[in-house]
Amino acid sequence: MTDTPHRPERALLFGADRPLRLASGGTLTDVPVAFERYGPPDPTGRNTVFICHALTGDSHVTRHDEDDAPGWWEAMVGPGRPIDTRRFHVVCANVLGGCSGTLGPAPGARGDGPAGAPFPQVTVADMVAVHRELLRHLGVPRLHAVIGGSLGGMQVLEWLLRHPRDARQYGLIATSAQLTTDNLAYNAIGRAAIRSDPRFRGGAYAADDGPAVGLGIARMVGHLTYMSGDSLQAKFGRDLSPPGGADAGTVPAWGPYSVERYLEHQADKLVARFDANSYLALTTAMDLFDAFATPCDLVTAADPDVRLFSFESDRLYGIDHSRHILEHLTKAGVRCAHFHEETSRGGHDAFLMEVPAYLDAVAEWLATPALGSTHDIDA
């Protein structure tokens, strides 16, 4: 097995005659989008599942074959998994504003402007607009389900509220309709770390000379919110792991504990594959998201099957976030249910993990015929 990464497919969307009109009022044309497809082709769309990824995710959800590199949601997607690629045709695209093949603010991502040229602020609604245009481009007229966790779940919620007839089922996992002040504060610290790095240069850094230190610190802060206190305690406790090469005779700039080495490792991993400007753009899009700020009257008539999934150990988007969504949808007359998992210590990242009760619940839900009707995806 070589674990050779599968190259995503690419589409160029939104020509000059059909520009992408952003929620901010601007427009974009000739938007490259990276996406991957899994499972049997489905010209009807009746067995197509669209997966929306989280903040630092991409289109590579799972392996395409045994020689492929692992994907970020192997626990959920693949042969014999809840989203079974022997049954479902699965599509996942890198989001607008990302840095894995879809148009975003990373250096060199757009060749028609100077380095550091302002990239428009994107929103969750803009991400969904690109997803829907991609499906039209691929000739997928309707969907069996739209599913995602965290920022992916925000995309699913936006899709549900504005275009509820596109799919029969909508799965919102470990997500939020509106960030709390606590959530906003963590994102603010991450962005401040990036901006304070001397190599940020107002966003006009070169691709090989960006604010690696600032982005790494942002990841360390963010990663703490993805884990639970119990999982950190069980994994590390007060185990020692002194930094290599540290001079014991100097002021201790590094702590001696394993948890610090772990966070440094997580920082290095993200810096090697992600872009700081994309981190800024996408966390700001999450901050701005306010799903129920506008009416959601379209959902009731469409009668989709909606399921929320949350985790007791999730200190980022815990049960209160799901209850908030459930309350609003129920008041609007939407048929929805909530599965809350109470045993995993995985924290927010539990939605990516092998948590049997949760995975079984998703599989059972997807196997249940949905009652709502769908229309072809249109403008």
Catalytic residue positions?
150, 314, 348
In angstroms and rounded to an integer, the radius of gyration of the C-alpha atoms of the chain is: 21
Which among 74, 77, 7, 56 is positioned nearest to 36, based on CA atoms? 7
Provide the token pair at 137: 């481009």
Do 78 and 85 meet the contact criterion of CB atoms below 8 Å apart?
yes
- CA–CA dist 377, 161 (Å, integer): 14
Do 325 and 177 meet the contact criterion of CB atoms below 8 Å apart?
yes
Q: Looking at the DSSP assignment, which residues form a beta bridge with residue 141?
A: none
Give 109-116 contacts, CB < 8 A, sequence gap 24+. 115/204, 115/205, 115/206, 116/201, 116/202, 116/203, 116/204, 116/205
CA atoms within 13 A on the CB side of 16: 0
In the chain, the amino acid numbered 51 is I
CA distances in angstroms from 192 to 99, 162, 196, 289, 346, listed in the order given: 20, 33, 6, 20, 27
Give, in degrees to the nearest 5, the angle at Cα 130 between 127 and 131. Answer: 90
- CA–CA dist 64, 168 (Å, integer): 26
251 phi, psi to nearest 5 deg:
-60, 130
